[in-house]
Amino acid sequence: MSKITRNSHSVSVQWLHDHLQDENSLVFDASIPKVTADKSDDRDVQIPNTQFFDIKNKFSDTEARFPNTMPSEKQFQEEARKLGVNQDSTIIAYDDLGLYSSARVWWLFKIFGHDNVAVLDGGLPEWINQGYKTEAKQENNKPIGDFEAKYNAKHVVYYDHLEALSKDSKFKIIDARSSDRFNGLVAEPRAGLRSGTISNSVNLPYHQVLNGTTLKPEPELRLIFKTLANENQHLVFSCGSGITASVLSLAATIAGYKNSVYDGSWTEYGTLKTN
């Protein structure tokens, strides 16, 4: 039976290959089109025995005003059970860009009380690069699981908190958008959304914690965050709509920093904050 150690928030493709047939393992493809891409990066293959983790339609509040809004505890539990998630499941999430939307799955399970979850470092591209077998995309349905969601507020920040946090020296708000978007040099990709930044935030484009499709080594991650924040500060990550902020949350957690994700991110803040 596979079990991820408490500090292993990502696993290698070799680890997954070795544990793919474990009885309690569940592998989720969390791929979504990249919002800043000209076309979808969808592939027509997947890692064997994979199920699709539908961030947009099943694991977001689709009735919310802003995209990718975190679902309710009830919705998350019901949808996770449909994917066969049990209390003892080992969950590995990946995406077809290497490391993009899969970190959102890791973060959501942390939010809802399931710690035995990790991101596949390098995702599908690294799996293919290492020569491991794939299969045509298919559903691979599992029996209904017994997972019980328990909301954990420490991993999430809401709009109403931002004003106070931006003025509190115990916190540091870090934006994962590109430097051009952060500095307002290019328009936001979502129609009608203004450019700008959260007060007193700093910029760390999410790709700076990656070497191509994989995470940089832990010592390098520590150095990156050390240049932006003190070790005793609580980091709050934002981006466009909560996807790449989760990548920084994953990297910061590996680097040993306490952190949260601002769920609404710039899409919400830039809409609601008018001055």
* Catalytic sites, residue numbers: 239
How many CB atoms are located within 10 Å of the residue 164 CB?
9
Amino acid of residue 77: Q
Q: Are 71 and 60 in contact (CB under 8 A)?
A: yes
Q: How far apart are CA 271 and CA 263, in angstroms?
A: 14
Q: Are 145 and 38 in contact (CB under 8 A)?
A: no
Closest-CA residue to 102 (of 229, 5, 210, 244): 244
For 218, the 3-state DSSP assignment is helix
* Backbone torsions φ then ψ of 211, nearest 5 degrees: -105, 90
